[in-house]
Structure 1
């Protein structure tokens, strides 16, 4: 039997028997149980009624969280000439073309978000096996393949979160830090859930949003009532 530390045992006891909470109740519980020496990320996991192996059931998108993520995001941009200059001026951490491709191919990936101008995609396409598994591949559907690199860089730095359904139909993301005000965390969570609802694919059958869970980086998870997570009855209907 696994042995847990005092803090972990206390957190598990606090969470015992609790499920289908409102967003506010879940946030309060998680914040109260966070006792690490670092500022934990609050993570959300959505179990969706989709099979991403089918193109018409893929869920993908992005959302600008109203209160940011609390995380410092390093951004790489594939661009040349004036667009490269725009990306640098906007605050991109790494900017390049063939040289950046070679760096990534060499296994050096020092960024959290990757943006590219459309003309760079033949180069970036060679990195699919490296960037794809890390969910870093630029995609026009989430605004990371664009001529407006300056705006894309600012969005990434300002709290934009991209999401994509994994094989089991699960979408997860960080939606803030444990140090955030509870109301701001709740606002971020509802914004993220709403974005996933709006990204419901045409091929989705039956119940779309099956389960919503919240946790901190080192803490146990708790399920959230789907209606509470959606925030209003109009968008909630999309979960069905």
Structure 2
């Protein structure tokens, strides 16, 4: 932990914690501070003026980032017969029906996205307590309950990001890798913020986007000038 503390301390050198940086400057700082031996994820955190305890203030959705996330996503698909074969051909990592449900109930969670055909939701519904807390429960509004498993798998592996506001009104997401060039990171961040704006709930009052910050996995956080994102 001491080494992480030293790295963060070094990363904050030259950063004004009270300043709101333009998106271009923030990306440059984050990339420069990402000095780990692995390719760090660039993460965004948004503080929203909502109270998700109220149904009309929930913020949830999905966005396919223009340049992907740089992350390899393992996809599990609940499907039978022809749809199961379609899923395998489309590149699904795990495919099954009742057998897959039993594996998940037994603790197998070796995937980051879960897709289901509509006829399988009777089986998947029984896994709500397992998949729900991990934000893995298939949902038709997010395109993960669909007969078009090929497109759903393609989108998941191409860099689709699901988002959901947490209790404190915060949304977190990975928007790329530190190895991405600055222009691609800027484009991904703008696309993500645009998706959050479009997902603004009817019950939101006052300032919706209150604060946005950017960081890398092991690096310092930088506050963003919200106006520079929409510029």
Paired residue secondary structure (1:227): helix
Q: How does 1:170-181 map to 2 (within 5 A)?
A: 170-181=170-181
Alignment-derived partner of residue 225 in structure 1: 225
1:167 aligns to what SS in structure 2? coil
> Hey, what's the Cα distance between the residues in 2 that align with 1:203 and 1:177?
34
1:35-74 superposed matches below 5 A: 35-74=35-74
1:19 Cα shift? Answer: 2.6
SS at match of 1:15: coil
Matches within 5 A, 1:12-161: 12-17=12-17, 19-161=19-161
Aligned to 1:10: 10
Count of equivalent residues: 230
What are the superposed Cα offsets for residues 50-89 of structure 1, whole Å, 9 maximum, x if unpaired? 1111111111111110111000000000111111111111
Structure 1 position 219, deviation (Å)? 1.0
Q: Structure 2: how far apart are the matches of 1:208 and 1:17?
A: 22
| SS state at 1:70 partner | coil
Change (3 A) 1:39 1:4: closer
Matches of 1:83 and 1:3, distance apart in 2 = 49
| 1:119-156 Cα distance to aligned partner (Å, 9 max, x none) | 11111111111111111111111111111111000000
Aligned residue for 2:14, secondary structure, equals helix
CA distance in 1, matches of 2:102, 2:58: 31
Question: Is the 2:31–2:178 Cα contact (8 Å) retained in structure 1?
Answer: yes
- Once the two structures are TM-superposed, the CA of residue 15 in structure 1 deviates from its matched residue by 2.3
Residue by residue, what CA displacement relative to the aligned partner does 1:182-230 show, whole Å, maximum 9, x if unpaired? Answer: 010000000000011001111111111111110000112111011112x
Contact 2:4 2:218 in 1 (8 A): no
| TM-score computed with the length of structure 1 as normaliser | 0.92
- Gaps in structure 1 of 5+ consecutive residues: 233-240
Post-superposition CA distance 1:142-173 (Å, at most 9, x none):
11111111100000000111101111111110
**1:10 aligned counterpart, secondary structure:** helix
1:235 is matched with: none
Query: Quick one: distance in 2 between partners of 1:211 and 1:186?
Result: 17
Q: For 1:210, what is the secondary structure of its paired residue?
A: strand
Question: For the structure 1 residues 56 and 6, does the alpha-carbon distance in structure 2 shift closer, same or farther, using more than 3 Å as the test?
Answer: closer
After TM superposition, the score normalised by the length of structure 2 is: 0.96
Higher RCO, 1 or 2 (CA under 8 Å, sep at least 6)?
2
Tell me how large the CA RMSD over aligned residues is.
Answer: 1.4
User: For 1:17 and 1:167, how far apart are their aligned partners in 2?
Assistant: 25
Change (3 A) 1:4 1:199: closer
Report the Cα distance in structure 2 between the residues aligned to 1:4 and 1:92, rounded to whole angstroms.
36
Q: Which runs of 5+ in 2 are unaligned?
A: none
